[in-house]
Structure formats: C-alpha cells, structure tokens
Amino acid sequence: MRVTFNSFPDTLLGRLQSLGSEQNKALTQLSTGQRISAPSDDAPAMQRILNLRVEKKQNQQYHRNATDGLEVSKVTFSSLEQIKDLLVRASELSANISGATSEQEFKAKASEIDQLLQQGLNVANTKLRGSYILAGEASGAPDAPFVIGSKNPSGQISQIDYRYPTTDQSDDANPQMHIGEDTKISAFTTPRENREVADLLNKMISMRNAMTDTPSGTATKASAVLSLRADLATQEDKILSALSRAGTTQYRLETAMKDLEIRYEGTEKLISTDADIDFAEATVRLNRAQMAYQAAIQSGARIQSNSLLDYLR
C-alpha cells in the first residue's frame, strides 16, 4: 500500500480541528451557560425549547392582561361601593323624615341629598388611565358616560342620562380580555349595571324634589319621601348585585394570576432542563479536549521530526 507524503499531516490537521471545535463548544457553553447554541446541537430539544418559549410569552401576556383587569376591577368595585354608600346615606335621610316638623328641616335634608347627588355623578364618571370605568365598551370614548340631562330653574340637576351604549350594543356587552388560552373575562360593568347607576341617581333627584316641591305641609312631604324610599331599596339591591359580580371578577383575576405565575415558573424549569448545561460535565469535557489537543500536538511534532533514515537504522 502506498502512503502519500501528506497523509499524516492531513490526518493530524483534521484531528486538531476536531479537538479545537470540541474546546470551542465547551468554552461557549461554559461562558453562556447554554447547552444548545444552534439547532444542529440537539434538534428535538431545540424544538421543545422554542415551543416552551412561545408558551412563556403567551403566559406573560395573559398575566399582563389579568393585571390590567385586576386594576380595573378594583377601581370599579371602589366606585360602586362609594355609590352604594351615597345611596345608604340618602336612605338614612329619608328614614327619619316622619319626625320632620318644619319646611326648614326638609330643605336641609334636600340640600344634603343634592350634595350626595353631585358626588355620585363625579364617582360615576371615574377615570383610570384616561378611560371611564363605568362606560362598558365605550370606556375609551372622550366623553363622560353620565351627563346632566337638564337642570331646574334653581340651577340644580333635574335629570342624569347615561349616554351609552349605542343601539348595536346589548345590555351585557363589555370589553373582554384573554387571561388564558380559552378564557376571557371582563372587569368592566355592563351597560345594564351602568344604567342602574343612572337610575339610582335619578331616584335621589326625585327624593330631593319630594322634600322641596311637594305642597300641602310636612305630612304630605313625608309620605311622598317614604314612598320613594322603597325605590331606593330596590336600587340598592341592584348595586349590591353589581358589587358582587365585581368582587367575583376580582377573585377570578387574582386566581388566574397565581396560576399563570406557577405555569411561568414551570415553563422556565422545563426550558432550563433542555437548554442549561451541567457545568461539571462541561468542565470535564473541556479539560479532556484540551489534554487530547495537547497530546495530539506533541505526538505530531515527535512523529514529524523522524525521517526515513530513523526507520532504516
């Protein structure tokens, strides 16, 4: 068999290149902490990592949606609770109306209800990050959802209107947000609940007017006010129902956020299992490749120093 003059140098060079690649790979893994730097390193593992990273990104977005929804839910709950407190105070003022003995007492109570009414209008138009909370799908609209429809000759509010929804929206239409692959939730109140807030404020207007405009003495005024008090109780039940739904939504969002956090951590661990290196193993492989590289160089240098005459002696 004929062996060419360049056979050994070519074989030695190929071996040195292979050992050099092993060293570079081990050094790259140790410096980055990643086992895979290219799909060719481990194609099945790379596919799993890519899928897990997509899932992680989705979970991050779901968590951001749930966080935004929880903030909306908290502000919604707070606004409804304030409105309920105003209603309770108006009901208290009407409860002891039978004991009023003068027109001045009626006027004083009416004045307080008027202040409650104006506060209620401000609360109903609460904004969060530039959007109206009690506006349903129109939360991003520039105009306030609750507006003064009219005023009486004294300049007091005599009618409050809820301007939304438009005719193509249902009573239960409100913005939905994804908090999971197949899970949507809305942290906003529905148009029906918002109209019930407007109805409540208008009931308070009617009670105020009954205290000031009803003729024929205090007894007649008291009777008119007490008949309206039952309407307030009905409105209170509706507000409590809206509060209950907002509280349930808040609980669901908090639970979803905890679940997403657990899933995020689990995904991170799975990615780490496929992608991260074992530092001890990588260090051993690097040392082994370096020793083999040095041995190859030394062996090659020793063999290359021999000539044909060395073998003929």
Q: What's the domain count of the chain?
A: 2
Classify residue 162: in a domain, yes or no.
yes
Q: In whole angstroms, what is the distance from residue 170 CA to residue 172 CA? A: 5
Same domain, 107 and 183: yes
Classify residue 69: in a domain, yes or no.
yes
Residue with tokens 């995904």: 267
Classify residue 30: in a domain, yes or no.
no
Angle at 134 between CA 133 and CA 138, to 5 degrees: 85
Question: What b/e string do you get for 152-190 counting C-beta neighbours within 10 Å, with b at 16 or more?
Answer: eeeebbbebebbbbeeeeeeebbbebebbeeeebbbbbb
Same domain, 124 and 171: yes
Tally of CB atoms within 10 A around 278: 11
Same domain, 205 and 288: no
Give residue 63's identity as a one-letter amino acid code.
H
Same domain, 71 and 112: yes
Classify residue 56: in a domain, yes or no.
yes
pLDDT in tens, 84-97: 999 888 888 877 66
Classify residue 78: in a domain, yes or no.
yes
Same domain, 256 and 287: no
Same domain, 208 and 288: no
Tally of CB atoms within 10 A around 255: 12
Tally of CB atoms within 10 A around 129: 8
Same domain, 87 and 136: yes
Same domain, 138 and 57: yes
Same domain, 231 and 94: yes
Classify residue 114: in a domain, yes or no.
yes
Supply φ then ψ for residue 170, to 5 degrees.
Answer: -85, 170
pLDDT score of 1: 47
Same domain, 206 and 289: no
pLDDT score of 300: 63
pLDDT score of 276: 67
pLDDT in tens, 77-129: 999 999 999 988 888 887 766 666 677 877 888 888 889 999 999 999 999 88
User: What residues of the chain score a pLDDT lower than 50?
Assistant: 1, 3, 167-168
Domain span including residue 264: 52-270
Same domain, 245 and 312: no
Classify residue 74: in a domain, yes or no.
yes
Contact 208, 96 (CB under 8 A): no
Same domain, 225 and 284: no
Classify residue 8: in a domain, yes or no.
no
Q: In whole angstroms, what is the distance from residue 284 CA to residue 178 CA? A: 48
